[in-house]
Chains A and B, each alone.
Chain A
Amino acid sequence: MLSYILKRIFVGLITVFTIATLTFFGMHAVPGDPLLKGKVVNEVVRKNLEEKYGLDKPLFVQYGTFLTNMIKGDFGLSFTQQNRSVNDIIREHFPISAILGALAIIAAAIGGIIGGAIAAVKRNTMADRSIMLLVILFVSVPSFVFAALGQVLIAEIKTRVGVELLPVAGWGTFKHMILPSLILGLGTMAFLARLMRSSMLEVVHQDYIRTAKAKGVSSLQIFFRHQLRNAVLPVITFLGPAVAAITTGGFVAEIVFAIPGLGRYFVQAVQQLDYTVIMGLTVFYGAYLVFVVILVDVIYGFIDPRIRIAGA
């Protein structure tokens, strides 16, 4: 097990290293002057700025400092926001994104697992068909459409009935979090529901279910004790990629609902070509996503002994 974890961490580090290198050389290949954003600076100021950002050194020296700083966890200063370090941006805005993402994951996991399980148990009934219809709808309709739909709906209810169910946008109280996290989770929820359904259908035909039935275990107990528990295992492996999908999907939710999360800053930085912020946030996001996937896989190994044997 330990060698499996170490191997995964090693591969993860290589991936992060690849992302960092790609980001660094990619951003330096983009033509344009990061210091000249529409304003003219005189020679002295320019020299000082170059020195400050280390742009006067050869590319490979810059790459070296970039890597060592990265290992130290120092992502540098923003080009467009005066005297604001990338670390500050992450520290301030990542928690918001993380809360949003965590809520979305919880909503998606609960909804997906229950929906999929019901669809499998009530197979080929109206319940199954309507759940599967919703699944294909949620998979096919982009989240920004649902986000807009939700906003319009809330605004309509407010004008027609006069009750503001939830805030249309913004961030702060728990009420603000409900709609964005639900909508952010929809796609993942649909994906997990589909997975759960097929996994559940496999479990339903297992011998131990028949044995339990023969023993006279009540059907509710069979559902919770024997079917749900066994069927949920393969679904857990997909929580890693689901975190990745929800984190990047959060960009949209943060823009539509005006949430001051990290995703919005990332998109803004890309639009403004704020090199250090792009590089820093890409590496941060990359490392975060790669290690979340590894973490989920490792946890899965602890939950399901069969994987541990195969992995070792």
Chain B
Amino acid sequence: MDSLIHAFGLLALDMEVSMQEEKERVLTTQNEFSQDLFQKQVKSVQENLIVRPSLSYWQDALRRFAANKQSLFAFYLTNILILFSFLGPFIWTRNPSHQDLNSPSMSPNMGKPAVVVDELAPVIPLFAEIPVISTTDETSDLVTEEKAIGSVQNFKVIGFPTTQNVVLGWDYVPGASGYVIYRNEVKPEDGALGIPLGDVMEGNQISFEDAQSLEARDYFYAIVPKDADGMETTHNTVLKVQVMTAISVDSAKSLGVSSEIGTHVRLSSSPLGTDSLGRDILARLMSGGKVSLFIGIFAAVLSIIFGIILGGIAGFFGGLVDDMVMRFTDLISGLPFLLCMILLKVILNVGPGESGITALLISLVILSWTGTARLVRGQILQLRNSEFIQAARMMGAKPGYLIVRHMLPNLIGVILVTLTFQIPSAIFTEAFLSFIGLGVASPATSWGSMCNEAIQSLLTRPYEFFAPAVVISLTVLSFNLLGDGLRDALDPKLRSNE
């Protein structure tokens, strides 16, 4: 035993000696080491772990959302539609309520050429001077009468062929007792010259005015001289005429183009045509979209805020408050929605000439907050008893802090999803009411009221109806798809059965 202790003692002594030596050695050789010989040890343990970078809730949701092609498509589509309505008017600057009665109900076109005309200028028929035939020379007289009547030469248009009138002129045909003028919309074949427009009774009259329901298109005029007996000859001369839209000096002034008579102007194009009052449908689609989307988005946001407040109060305070708020919610949600919508709209829509946008907005908010309130209440009831809320409360957190700091962040996902579903349903309701004529009133317009105006002429001009109809459908569809995508991304638990 003693020997063992002794041995330890020796060892300890030995160590002490060696440490001292070491110290001295370090001290003596201090200058040989520079700072950069020392390196931080790299932890190599991490390299062996197979771990993905951890994702926050939002990063995870974003990843899931971006992986879903359908919802990405819907996201881009909604953005395009919003940009179309709100930024479109800066690019397509036509006034949506400008009524151009010169071009009502035009089919989609890219700008028609037009010519400014004086609508009051009278058209005086022209007469050719008949060469004087000496009555004494009998032979020459006989020759003239027997000479076959030739076809009309130099058949031409005098002035501009416009939708107001087309003035035709030609050279005098010797011996002709008159002329018959035909008009056709296709190139005449096999003597089918078209509608006989007029009968020129005098052989020496060399002009004719056609003002019979002209359209801006190509016409084929044919002229046939008549012989001395008043019978039509077989010779005809055909002229192709491109008729241009005529606009009056006044409307040229109102359009801001040169109002000098005879100037060729290009009427502004209407890629989607014009409605029955000559208003540009594309421009109206944009301004209507502004109203529809504004009502849809704003009503949805407001009703959701309202729902969050009421549902939050009910869920957070519980007890009697909860009971009262929820009975009120039951009452409102028990009301037939569209019926009360119409009623409220009528009550709130005070005064004539009002667009009805505010009335629609208020009615929508009053009637559509109940779903959100129920949802938020349920979520808050769940959260209220969760551990992290209890912990916060134990540490003395006040209700306001609890709501803002702990509850709202946990509700944001659900709220966002409800919002995206609320928007299309508000747009849908607005379209429904405007369509039956109880929504947005003129001069303001919305997609629904555009459909309402166009339904009268559905069978003759379907594009007027289907332009706004397609946009409404696309908007509602894309918001619905976006909502589906957001729900799948934000709350996989809520995902519909696949």
A interface residues with partner B (beta carbon < 8 Å): 11-12, 14-15, 18-19, 22-23, 26-27, 29-31, 124, 136-137, 139-142, 144-145, 148, 151-152, 155, 168, 197-198, 201-202, 244, 248-249, 251-252, 255-256, 266-267, 270-271, 273, 278, 282, 285-286, 289-290
Contact = CB atoms under 8 A, between A and B. Distances in A.
8 contacts: A15-B334, A18-B331, A27-B347, A148-B455, A151-B459, A248-B339, A270-B438, A286-B335
B44 interface: no
Interface string B189-233: 000000000000000000000000000000000000000000000
A11 B326 CA distance: 14
Contacts of A251: 338, 436
Contacts of B179: none
B497 A201 contact: yes
Contact of A19 (B340, B455, B462, B476): B340
Given A11-B330, A248-B336, A198 B497 contact: yes
B496 interface: yes
A29 B347 contact: yes
A18 B334 CA distance: 10
Contacts, number: 119
B49 interface: no
Interface of B: 330-331, 334-340, 342-344, 346-347, 350-351, 424, 428, 431-432, 435-438, 448, 451, 455, 458-459, 462, 465-466, 469, 472-473, 476-477, 480-481, 496-498
B344 A26 contact: yes
Nearest to B347: A26
Contact of A286 (B336, B496, B497): B336
A289 B336 contact: yes
Which of B344, B350, B432, B451 has its CB near the most chain A CB atoms (within 10 A)? B432
Contact of A289 (B339, B451, B497): B339
Main secondary structure of the interface of A (DSSP, over half): helix
Given A19-B335, A289-B336, A198 B458 contact: no
Contacts of A18: 331, 335
A273 B498 CA distance: 50
Nearest to B465: A148
B339 A144 contact: no
A92 B455 CA distance: 27
B480 A271 contact: no
B477 A252 contact: no
Contacts of B455: 144, 148, 256
Given A27-B347, A30-B346, A286-B335, 20 more contacts: A23-B343, A27-B346, A30-B350, A31-B350, A31-B351, A136-B481, A142-B472, A144-B451, A145-B451, A152-B459, A197-B497, A198-B496, A248-B338, A251-B338, A270-B342, A271-B438, A278-B346, A285-B336, A286-B336, A286-B339
Contacts of A26: 343-344, 346-347
Q: Which 5 A-B pairs have the closest CB atoms?
A: A26-B347, A248-B338, A140-B477, A289-B336, A141-B473
A244 B459 contact: no
Given A145-B472, A201-B497, A270-B438, A151 B477 contact: no
Contacts of A282: 339, 343
Contacts of A11: 330, 334
Contact of A255 (B347, B431, B436): B436
Given A31-B350, A248-B339, A286-B335, A136 B459 contact: no
B42 to A, nearest CB: 49
Contacts of B496: 198
Contacts of B437: 267, 271
Contact of B477 (A141, A144, A278): A141
Contacts of B448: 142
Contact of B476 (A15, A141, A252, A271): A141
B339 A140 contact: no
